[in-house]
Every structure is written in structure tokens, then in C-alpha cells.
Chain A
Amino acid sequence: MDQAMHSTGSSAGPGLYGLLAEFDNPNDLVRATRQAYAAGYRKLDAYSPYPVEEAWEAIPHHTNRVPLAVLCGALAGICAGFGLQAWASTIYYPMNVGGRPDLSWPSFIPITFELAVLFASFAAVFGMLMMNGLPQPYHPLFNSPHFATASRDRFFLCIEAQDPLFDRQDTLRFLASLEPREVAEVEN
């Protein structure tokens, strides 16, 4: 509960990205995130070294379209796989193999399945990265010297300066009341 506060100005300047509160366990992070949301803050995010599902639930109204992307990928793969084989065997170069029909569809299923899985996997990975705005080599949070521990053993709650309720002093006081280890300003 040692609260070191580095506050200099009184209002949100253009150089300020937000205020970052540091916690040392997931319980405090989840509790703080819920309280911040309940207090009316909307531009906020929680950061943790492993997935904490409760922290995500504490920030409602976020969409997750990864499943939809995967479905679209799978359907595209089915069309591409079956379409390629059907077109090549009936239109492009029909060939009589042992008297089988040109459109011998059962033998096209394995490749159709493989391409469905391939396209769906691409959609899952690249869709997830795109929706998360990655790759993003620079982010203001990386300016905070403490933030490197978000990938080790610390948990962070950031209230961004863009939030309509954000006020340098009030928000600082509010975050300090959540019993963090520390609250720090993050420069843009």
C-alpha cells in the first residue's frame, strides 16, 4: 500500500495518455476495474501477464468477432477447395479416369476439408491480430517504466485521458482509493 504519486499539473494536458494503477494480484485488478467502470469511466483497460477473464467481463460492451471471422474463413475455404477441383475436372481439363464421372465429388472432399481448416485458421490468427490492432510496435504505455512488469507479475488498470470523466486530480484520487501499489502518469 505504498502510494507514490507523481502528479505535476492540475488538468489533462495534451501530452498525457492516461493514469496507470499497479496491482500485485488479479483480485485487486478485477475489483478495481469493476469499481472504475461503476464510477462511470469508459475508456479504460486492464493489463495482466496472463488472461484474466473476469477483468474482461468487468469492461462490458467490447465485441468479439473472432468466431465470425473463423466461420467466414471456413466457408471461403470450402468454396475455394471444392470450386478449384470441380472447375479443373469439369471445365478446365475434363479427363476420363476409369470411367468415373468428371464431377466425382466424394473424392474432392478431403482437399475441401483441408482448405476449410487452412482458411479458417488464417482467419482466426490474422482476424484476432487485426481486431486487436496488432502489430503495434509503439504504444504510450511502453513509456511507463513500470509497465514492463505487466508481462511478468504485475497487474495494471489504465484510465485514459480521452475519457469524458477524466480529470487529472480527481481520477488520480479515485485510483489511489483503490489501494494500488502505485499510480503513475503515462505520457503520450
Chain B
Amino acid sequence: MENTSTVKELSLAERERAAVIGPGHTFATITDKIASIVLHEPSPASWWLGLLIGLTLLSGLGLAVGYLLFKGTGIWGINIPVGWGFAIINFVWWIGIGHAGTLISAILLLLKQRWRTSINRFAEAMTLFAVACAAIFPVIHTGRPWLAAYWLFPYPNTMALMPQFRSPLMWDVFAVSTYGTVSLLFWYVGLIPDLATLRDRASAKFQKIVYGILSLGWRGSAVHWHRYETASLLLAGLATPLVLSVHTIVSFDFAVSVIPGWHATIFPPYFVAGAIFSGFAMVVTLSIPIRAIYGLHDFITIKHLENMAKVMLATGWIVFYGYLMEIFIAWYSGNEYERYMMINRQMGPYAPFYWALIFCNGIAPQIFWWKKARTSIPILFIMSIVINIGMWLERFIIVVTSLHRDFLPSSWGMYWPTIWDWMTYAGTLGLFLTLFFLFIRVLPMISIFEMRTIIPQAKVAGVHK
């Protein structure tokens, strides 16, 4: 046993560990607590309520898409000059939200940030479901999704046509489909040892069979673990540049065009930071109710929430810097159209949305300079919603204000979404909620095997041969 003097001299790493998991946990208590949520505990009433809300909104998506296929995109608010409306706004918003999951699972893994462990699994799930929601929009945005096959994918069709590989829209297809696939692989690989735990802990025959098949016969061999860890680390190394490339390419959809307000070199870093900003906000939005409902205060501690608040403060400033730079460049470029675009944003018909965006993303997050705010659950929850709204407004402003004042005043117009636009957007929120509630019901929402590694007993003391 260690004597008192060494106990006093707890290293920084140990104190750090004490902050990210409650005291007194063993391998067994961690396993039983997380596995029993899936295997043994009945679903709380709030779970049923959440699922019901999700399914209700999701049925709205079914209706909206059904009517779209019947009538065409005329049911939406888009027009000439605003040919890009809700479909691209929501696509970018959802893809951005997904990015925090990859950041937590890959970049923070490479940076050896151990506090990521308990939020990593459901943040990855969030990525996956957010990409699923995002993918709906490019598929349906023409109202003729069955034709998307030859617009999007390179195969020798009967018209001998290939898609245009020089277009950022084509790069987007490859970036988003690769991102979705790699996120799914990464998530599933992370689940394999936990699925084995569920297989071994399940009492119902059906559960044993399903988890048995999904766990692929994992048995925790040292040789297997070693290859497993190598594969995870390499996947993290691959996912890191991938996630940066995805929102960079999404920003190219705008930046490569010649529309004032879109044609800017600041777009790639500004979009990536915005993605992380909104993604962390969504992780906070999800983790606060989850830890309360399932009593996970020992695993998702105030330290986690505070760290996420710090990330939001930092990325919020990068985004805010982007807004300020846009104003500066609009003036400094000396370009009449650029200047008009910025004046129109700030004082034109959509000005209230612009100033709401500046408030949500630029002013409000400054509250996180205070530790009291970073550790207050109500403030964190409200701020996470404010930031989600702010990031949605940002995409609305970028898309709509740049398009609705065309170069010639004769082709100016206004854009307002219709009920079908709103139903489609709310429907994807429903899809997200439904998938998320099903996920926390059938899979461990916190990585059990990674949680085992952060308790002190997990460390092998210096054993000499």
C-alpha cells in the first residue's frame, strides 16, 4: 500500500482523473451501471415521452416528403433568385452538428484528453444520426430523388454521362458519404467489446443471440486488444483530417461560386470552427437531460460540462472573428456588391435575423468567461440551445441574404419558408430524436471498456520480471 506522503503528492493526472469519474468505482460497478440501463432497467417515462415526440415529428417528415414527391419543389419557399433555401441551410446545420462527435472521438483521443471517454460514445452516435438527417436534404432537394443516382454517383449509365468531378457539389458527395461510412465503422468498432459485455450479461435469450452476433465473438484476448487499439488509433488519425475536410468542402459549395457573401477565402476555417461550435452545443443539449434521467452524474461530471463550455467559448470566438472579418473585407475590398451585401445584411429586410445571429454566437457565449456560468447546469443548457439557434441563423443568413439581392435590382426577391419547409426541418429533428432514443435503449450510451481504463485500478504497476 502507498504511504500517506505519496497519497498527498497526488499527481496532476490523478487529480484530473478524480474529476472525470465519481469516487469508489470499480470495474464491476462501471460495467453493471451502464449495462443495466440497456439490459435490465425499465425505460423511464421521459424516455417514452421523448420517443413519442420524435415519432410524431418523424411522421411529419413522411408527409412532407410524400407531398414533395407528388407535387415537386414548388411546395417549398424557394424561387428565383433564392434557389437554395431550407434544403441547404439544414444540410449544413446538421453536418456541422455531427462534427463534434468526430472531434471528441478522434481528435481528443489523439490529444490524450481522457475526459472525452464518457461522452465519446453518444457524441459519435449523434454524429451518425446528424449525418443521416443531413443526407436527406441533398437527396430530396430536387423533388426527384430517384434521378439522384446518376447525378451523384459515377457509373457508366445509358447516357454515357459522368458526374462533373470539377464541381464542389461532387466533392461534397464523396466527402459526406465517406464521412458517414467512416463514422459508422469507427462507432461500430468502438462498440464491439461493449457488445461482448452485453452478450455476457444478458439474461434474455433474444438479447444473448442479438448481442452475440453483433459482438462477432469478441473475447478480450491480449493479442486481439493490441490490433484493436492499433486500428482505433489509425481510424482516429484518418478521421481527424477527414472531419476537417468535410466542412471545408461544404464551405467550397459556397466559396467557389462568385456570389457576394459566399466568395470568400475565410470560409473553410470559419465553417469548420462553426461546425465544432454547434456540435459541442448539441452534445451539451443531449448530455444534460441524459445524466439527470439515468443518474450518470458520476460518469458525466461537471468537469466534462465545463470543458465543453470552454471549447464553445474558443470556437465561438473563431466564428465571431469570421463575422468581423466578413464586415472588414466587405469594406476593404472596395467592391460595390460586397459592400452592398453587408449593408443589406445589417439593415435590409433580414436584419433582425442577422443581429439575432450576432447575439447568439458572438455576444451570449461570452458568459462562459465566468466559471460560475460554465458550471451552472441551467445556464449551460440554455446557452447550448441559444448556440444551436445561432448556428442555424448563420446558415440562413449566408444562404438567403446573399441570394435574394441579385446583381441587378430587377431580379431582387424575398424568401420565406412554407409550412412544408418547416415540416421537413422539424421532421429531421424527429428522425434525430427517434434514432437517439432508440440508441440509448439498445446500446450502451457510454463506452464501458474505456471507462474501465480511467479508474486507478486499471493501471499496471511496475512489475519486474
A and B: bona fide binding partners: yes
Is B222's CB under 8 angstroms from A48's CB?
A: yes
For the complex, is B442 an interface residue (Cβ under 8 Å from A)? no
For the complex, is B164 an interface residue (Cβ under 8 Å from A)? yes
Q: Knowing A26-B460, A121-B238, say if A84 contacts B164 (CB, 8 Å).
A: no
B-chain residues with CB within 8 Å of residue A125 when the two chains form the complex: 185, 188-189, 231, 235
For the complex, is A52 an interface residue (Cβ under 8 Å from B)? yes
A-chain residues with CB within 8 Å of residue B230 when the two chains form the complex: 64, 66-67, 128
A-chain residues with CB within 8 Å of residue B171 when the two chains form the complex: 110-111, 114
One of B23-31, B38-46, B299-307, B400-408 at the interface: B23-31
Looking at the complex, which one of A26, A56, A124 makes contact with B234 (CB distance below 8 Å)?
A124
B26: nearest residue on chain A (CB-CB)? Answer: A153
For the complex, is A174 an interface residue (Cβ under 8 Å from B)? no
For the complex, is A2 an interface residue (Cβ under 8 Å from B)? no
B-chain residues with CB within 8 Å of residue A47 when the two chains form the complex: 219-222
Complexed CA–CA distance, A101 and B213 (Å): 52
Tell me the A12-57 residues at the B interface (CB within 8 Å).
25-27, 30-31, 33-34, 38, 45-56
Looking at the complex, which one of A34, A148, A153 makes contact with B27 (CB distance below 8 Å)?
A153
Is A50's CB under 8 angstroms from B222's CB?
A: no
Q: Knowing A54-B463, A128-B231, say if A111 contacts B170 (CB, 8 Å).
A: yes
B-chain residues with CB within 8 Å of residue A85 when the two chains form the complex: 165
Q: Knowing A66-B230, A111-B170, say if A152 contacts B28 (CB, 8 Å).
A: yes
Is B461's CB under 8 angstroms from A139's CB?
A: no
Looking at the complex, which one of A64, A100, A104 makes contact with B227 (CB distance below 8 Å)?
A64
Interface residues on B, range: 35 or more
For the complex, is A141 an interface residue (Cβ under 8 Å from B)? yes
For the complex, is B298 an interface residue (Cβ under 8 Å from A)? no
Complexed CA–CA distance, A30 and B29 (Å): 23
B447: nearest residue on chain A (CB-CB)? Answer: A50
Q: B174, B213, B241, B461 — which one has the most chain A CB atoms within 10 A of its CB? A: B174
Smallest beta-carbon distance B272→chain A, Å:
15
A137: nearest residue on chain B (CB-CB)? Answer: B217
Is B178's CB under 8 angstroms from A153's CB?
A: no
Complexed CA–CA distance, A88 and B31 (Å): 53
Is A67's CB under 8 angstroms from B201's CB?
A: no
Is B465's CB under 8 angstroms from A111's CB?
A: no
One of B14-22, B65-73, B448-456 at the interface: B448-456
Is B178's CB under 8 angstroms from A114's CB?
A: yes
For the complex, is B328 an interface residue (Cβ under 8 Å from A)? no
Complexed CA–CA distance, A66 and B188 (Å): 17
The 6 nearest A-B residue pairs measured at CB: A153-B27, A135-B216, A128-B231, A148-B200, A136-B217, A51-B225
Q: Show 12 residue pairs from A and B whose CB-CB distance is below 8 angstroms, ordered by the A residue.
A: A45-B222, A46-B221, A49-B197, A53-B229, A59-B222, A104-B166, A110-B171, A118-B182, A124-B234, A124-B238, A142-B219, A151-B201
Given contacts A50-B450, A64-B227, A128-B231, 4 further A-B pairs with CB under 8 A are A62-B226, A88-B162, A111-B165, A111-B171
